[in-house]
Structure 1
Amino acid sequence: MKQIIFGLLSIIVIASCEEVVRLDIDSTEPVVVIEGLILDRQTTQYVKISQSVNFYSETSSEPIRDANVYVTDGVLTYTFEHNPNDQAAYEGYYFSSNSFSGVAGKTYTLVADVHGTRYTATDQLFPVTAIDSLTVRLNEEEFEDPEEEGYFYEVLFYAKEPQQTEDFYLFKFYRNDTLLLDGPTDIYFSDDKLIAEEINGVPTAGFYKPGDIGRVEMYSISNAGFIYYNDLINLLQSDGGMFGSPPVNPRNNISGGALGFFQCSSMVFKTIEVTD
């Protein structure tokens, strides 16, 4: 069920027996990157807009602060404002002027006017199944040789998967308030074919010590979201060899040539305290 995506580091070289030629990736045109999330929770929703930078830049992206952003469900329109509290950590983030909750079954459209170009994205918000329970188990192998001293418990989670519908899921795991990943670039998602009828004691990422609070979040995603993440996996797994397919950007739901994805999700979560 775990799928590793993201963490894209591309170094492109052409090698021969005589010389190595570096491609002029420094001259690549900047691309707008849009990431948005609408949840079925009464909260301040967000959209993040940035611009890619050249390969040798010390920053991964440049925040865009002067876009005009709104989201509509066809009846109601929600305006978004850039970093209203002027916090350095949220440069490039646009937050809804008023809190609102996405509604399962509705389709939401994002409109972002950036430097004279209009980008739009549409995603449907699907319901998500409930998490039945979480349990804690001592991992004997980790206990014998812990990667981090004292951390050798794992959290397992359980859920039923409704077979009458076609569903796709994204998972996030936390230890206390820290997002847990088995690898620094992991994201975990699945379709219902892989899950089958239930999630039955699947270990989450990372390990815990007594007193920690484990948290599992489960998000619905659309088929478009699943395709987007799956394309990222294929991109990462490409060996870049001479006879391999040339890399292509993941398919997304944003018009106008921007990268990223606009996601609408239902979300459920459960927590558990880790004890001996």
Structure 2
Amino acid sequence: MQTIFKVLLAVLISFSLHSCEDKIDVNLNDADPRVVIEADLTNLSRNQEIKISRTVAFDENRAFEPVDQAEVIVRSSTGRVYTFESIGNGKYRHANMMVNAMQEYTLLVRLDGKEYTATSRAPRFVEIDSMGITKETILNDDYYFINLSFDDPGGEDNYYKYSISTNGEPFKFNTVFSDKFNDGLHVKHQLGGRNIEFENGDSINLRRYSLAKDVYTYWSEYQSTNPGSASPANPKSNISNGALGYFGVSTVKEYKITIQDEDGLSQ
């Protein structure tokens, strides 16, 4: 049984710095430390941030060792060069870099005499035409889901990622989709239930990303990994020289929606 509810919907186009706390879990069984690079550059803000760390052994009292002495450069296909400055704790920042759709960006990290490189292209953003809430009752419990509908562009590969913030909490990765089986069709993406449960009255901010195939592959493998297994696999990185992590440039829009029954009460 599904019931459609009234929702509050607003597209937030923001050019201020947004924090996103997508935490990356990797297999630390490797004997030698591995470099981990996390670069999620978007058009939401000119403030861009890249994180660099090393893996540590299981008996360490921390998950990663921050790296602050790397040289970090991003080059665009238009010839712009962006040098990121270390701000401590493994974070590198550039305060005036805008990601543009259909441009290619190349990452170069120099660290301890080694170079790590990756190239990614920012796709055009695919707009939605509607967003709403459904409720499903399963074993007498109510579950809310966010549904986004849109026309997938035909004749091209499209990949989508979603991150969600509930009631002002940090953004967390939720899921990814491809158009492998619905290219050119009217599509509905349903969010919720995988690693998040919405409740009546929740204020939700969600980010919808259009991203490149290799970055989609990383997140698809990430969400398929069983962290409880004895030897979880590391998602396939698009960064050279054995580095873990990913380099992505994406076009993004942020939406706001409130989980609200018609009478404003939980059922």
Same fold (TM over 0.5): yes
Q: For 2:104, which of 81, 102, 107 is the aligned residue?
A: 107
Residue 70 (str. 1) matches residue 73 (str. 2): yes
Q: Within 1, Cα distance between the matches of 2:165 and 2:69?
A: 33
Q: 1:56 is matched by which residue type in structure 2?
A: D
Q: Within 2, Cα distance between the matches of 1:154 and 1:238?
A: 26
Q: TM-score, normalised by structure 2?
A: 0.75
Is the CA contact 2:164–2:174 (under 8 Å) kept in the aligned structure 1? no
CA displacement, residues 193-242 of structure 1 (integer Å, 9 cap, x when unaligned): 245523336243421222x32222111121112233344466549977xx
Shift, 1:133, TM fit: 2.5
Show the counterpart of 2:93: 95
Q: For 1:60, which of 59, 63, 74 is the aligned residue?
A: 63
Show the counterpart of 2:249: 264
Structure 2 spans left out of the alignment, 5+ residues: 1-22
Structure 1 spans left out of the alignment, 5+ residues: 11-24, 147-151, 241-245
Q: 1:155 is matched by which residue type in structure 2?
A: I
Q: Within 2, Cα distance between the matches of 1:226 and 1:52?
A: 23
Q: Which has the greater radius of gyration?
A: 1
Q: For 1:220, which of 201, 210, 218 is the aligned residue?
A: 210
Show the counterpart of 1:166: 157
Q: Within 2, Cα distance between the matches of 1:176 and 1:194?
A: 34
Write the mapping of 1:121-270 to structure 2, written as runs, cut at 5 A.
Answer: 121-141=118-138, 144-145=140-141, 153-178=144-169, 187-196=174-183, 197-200=185-188, 202-204=190-192, 205-210=196-201, 212-232=202-222, 236=226, 249-270=234-255
Change (3 A) 1:232 1:159: same
Q: For 2:85, which of 62, 81, 97 is the aligned residue?
A: 81
Show the counterpart of 1:31: 34
Q: Within 2, Cα distance between the matches of 1:6 and 1:199?
A: 29
Runs of 4+ in structure 1 deviating by more than 6 angstroms, as ranges, are 237-240
Show the counterpart of 1:17: none
Residue 180 of structure 2 aligns to a residue whose secondary structure is helix
Is the CA contact 1:131–1:159 (under 8 Å) kept in the aligned structure 2? yes
Show the counterpart of 1:117: 114
* Percent identity (aligned): 25
Q: TM-score, normalised by structure 1?
A: 0.73
Shift, 1:157, TM fit: 2.4
Is the CA contact 2:103–2:122 (under 8 Å) kept in the aligned structure 1? yes
C-alpha root-mean-square deviation of aligned residues, in Å?
3.0
Number of residue pairs the alignment of both structures matches: 234
Q: Within 1, Cα distance between the matches of 2:206 and 2:215?
A: 20
Residue 215 of structure 2 aligns to a residue whose secondary structure is helix
CA displacement, residues 76-133 of structure 1 (integer Å, 9 cap, x when unaligned): 11111112xx6xxxx111111x322111111101111112211111111111211222
Change (3 A) 1:273 1:38: same
